[in-house]
Amino acid sequence: MAFSSWWQDLIARYESGASNQFLLFGNVEDEFLLQDGRVGTLRDFLLQNLLSGFDVVLSYDLGSGLRIEKGAQTFALWPAYKANPVLPREPRPALDTLTHYGRFAANLARVGQPSPRVAVVVGSVQLLAPASPGGVDHETGALALIMREWSRDTLLHESAFASFLIAENLNDVHSLMTQNPRAARFKVPLPNGDDLTAALDGWVKTAPTALEKFATDLPNLGRQLAGSSIAALDSLLKTREFAHTPLEPNDVSRLKKELVEADAGGLIEFLSPTRTLDDLYGQEKVKAHLRADIALWRKNEIEALPKGYLLCGPVGTGKTFLVECLAGEAGVPVVKLKNFRDRWIGSTEGNLEKIFRLLGALGRCYVFVDEADQTLGKRDSGSGDSGISGRVYGMFAEEMSRSDNRGKIIWILASSRPDLIEVDLKRPGRIDVKIPLLPTTTPEESFQLIRNLLKRRGLELAESDFQFLKDELPLLLTPGAAEALSVKVFRDVKVDNRTPLEALRNSLTTYRPPVAPEVLGAQIELAVRESSDLEWVPESLRPRT
């Protein structure tokens, strides 16, 4: 992988003497491009780059135990190892061994003897010192303290000793370590387009068939696949090369979605752009506003763009459908957050960390949060959920307000109860535009909505048919209710051989609104009250403001 900004900052932080402990999190389970052109783990990447100047490199994780990665002959000179040349596998004795050796090397330097430069790499620290669920676990606390003291012990801090602690999600790690001011935290990002291009340069030799149609334009392919992990792309190319199946230009968008969704572990999905705003009936002013924003985005006029939209309106007014239409109109990915909540302590926050990490690597995208009043958490969640809701709220609030996301990520929240969304989450700077999606307010609107839905099923109503129906057409008809009504009409036409007009009149005589009028009225009032522009509110509903 190329020297991204995080890596350059880490080097500067160590070489300046500002820190000797580094907590690496984020995309740490990916593969990394090594100096010899191969790909390897983050541990391999560290060994070939920053740690190449160290005399002794020791690593530990629960699976492999304590290992000597570099400088075995130098380490063998340690008297304690000579007396018992068996490296421990259990956490406490392994961490004690690392501490004792670091102090031994530091003491050599203190008395003027040749002293080795020592680096320690601990993988999956969340398994050694997991975030505390609230109770006191003395063994976990002790392990966290030992690792934290590597950054605070004066003897170690003033010597040529460095420790690298690796965890995928910070929220999974004990607070003694994540809140240690002496430890420098570095987020390892997903590879950007340049990183992927550098990897593709090497894979052209090992996967020539898979890449044959992109061999002369690898930078373009790298940019298109930004957001994919190197590990996922490596696996894809090996599979294609084995099957002698080259990547096709038309496959890239679909493959990127598949790779990113696989990396996300089911936490997100991409909405398929099968519709455009032309497929949305009515809402002409809303569509014009959204199209203007899309045009600004394409011109890179990001300062004129909102950071987010709130779609609010009664159940069945087509909030999700509007987002699906926007996906096809905009030509950028629309990512829908799926159920990231987990019953295990810390897992929900870890899932959100992973989602935000993926979003940051995608480039331009919309992020769709359905049922936002339930999804985004609460500032004060009480004690019923062990504080998870409050932590979720805090993470969303921080991510949605990031200034460097403007022009890259546009949030779309949808809710029929916008009053239940925390005010801070829907304020300007997070959500700038609030769009009400409302039911029909005139018989003409109800007729045209039903007519449009029947036309999609191959059934035609004439304009003149309105005169026969205007007294029976319901007001405050939502697209969802109209869809159910059109299905019933279609069924009557096919089963009873009625004309579309006859079937519709028959259906209207027994029609009952799917949502109680008082509930519908309350949700309309909430949507109107939230609207950031009165031109989106029909005249008959404006007094509700």
Domain containing residue 13: CATH number: 3.40.50.300
Residue 207 lies in a domain: yes
- In a shared domain, residues 461 and 487: yes
- In a shared domain, residues 184 and 281: no
Angstrom distance (rounded) from CA 396 to CA 400: 6
Angstrom distance (rounded) from CA 328 to CA 271: 9
Question: Residue 134: what pLDDT?
Answer: 53
Angstrom distance (rounded) from CA 338 to CA 269: 7
- The residues, any chain, with a CB within 8 Å of residue 139's CB and separated by 6 or more, are 92
Pairing of strands 334-337, 268-270: antiparallel
- Among the candidates 436, 468, 494, a domain finishes at 436
Question: Residue 3: what pLDDT?
Answer: 44
Question: Residue 343: what pLDDT?
Answer: 64
Question: Residue 502: what pLDDT?
Answer: 93
Residue 544 lies in a domain: no
Tokens of 98: 């690392």
Structural domain tally of the chain?
4
The DSSP H or E segment spanning 163 is: strand 161-166
The DSSP H or E segment spanning 29 is: none
SS3 for 188-216 is ECCCCHHHHHHHHHHHHHHCCCCCCCCCC
SS3 for 95-124 is HHHHHHHHHHHHHHHHCCCCCCCEEEEECC
C-alpha torsion 94→95→100→102, nearest 10? 110
Residue 526 lies in a domain: no
Question: Residue 384: what pLDDT?
Answer: 58
Residue 481: C-alpha distances to residues 249, 316, 340, 484 (Å): 41, 7, 30, 5
- In a shared domain, residues 352 and 376: yes
Question: Residue 545: what pLDDT?
Answer: 44
SS3 for 253-280 is HHHHHHHHHHHHCCCEEECCCCCCHHHC
- Among the candidates 157, 188, 219, a domain finishes at 188
Residue 344 lies in a domain: yes
- In a shared domain, residues 236 and 252: yes
- In a shared domain, residues 337 and 290: yes
Q: Which residue has the tokens 């921080």?
A: 398
Residue 130 lies in a domain: yes
Domain hosting residue 75, numbered range: 5-188
Angstrom distance (rounded) from CA 226 to CA 229: 8
- In a shared domain, residues 116 and 245: no
Residue 464 lies in a domain: yes
pTM for the predicted model, two decimal places: 0.76
- In a shared domain, residues 53 and 97: yes
Q: Which residue has the tokens 């870890």?
A: 350
Nearest Cα neighbor of 456 from 325, 322, 281, 319 is: 281
Pairing of strands 32-33, 39-40: antiparallel
Residue 86: C-alpha distances to residues 63, 67, 95, 179 (Å): 16, 10, 14, 34
Question: Residue 133: what pLDDT?
Answer: 55
Query: Diameter of the chain by CA atoms?
Result: 103
C-alpha torsion 255→259→260→265, nearest 10? 140
- In a shared domain, residues 242 and 375: no
- In a shared domain, residues 105 and 170: yes
CB neighbour class for 299 (10 Å; exposed up to 12, middle 13-18, buried from 19): exposed
- Among the candidates 436, 453, 476, a domain finishes at 436
Residue 102 lies in a domain: yes
Angstrom distance (rounded) from CA 408 to CA 365: 6
- In a shared domain, residues 213 and 119: no
Question: Which residues on adjacent β-strands are paired with residue 122?
Answer: 60, 165
Residue 520 lies in a domain: no
Task: Give per-10-residue mean pLDDT for the chain (545 aa).
Answer: 65 85 92 82 87 93 94 95 93 96 94 93 94 70 94 89 93 90 90 87 91 89 86 91 90 81 82 85 90 92 92 93 90 86 72 86 87 86 68 90 88 94 91 94 93 93 91 92 94 92 92 91 93 90 65
- In a shared domain, residues 276 and 253: no
Question: Residue 253: what pLDDT?
Answer: 78
- In a shared domain, residues 69 and 169: yes
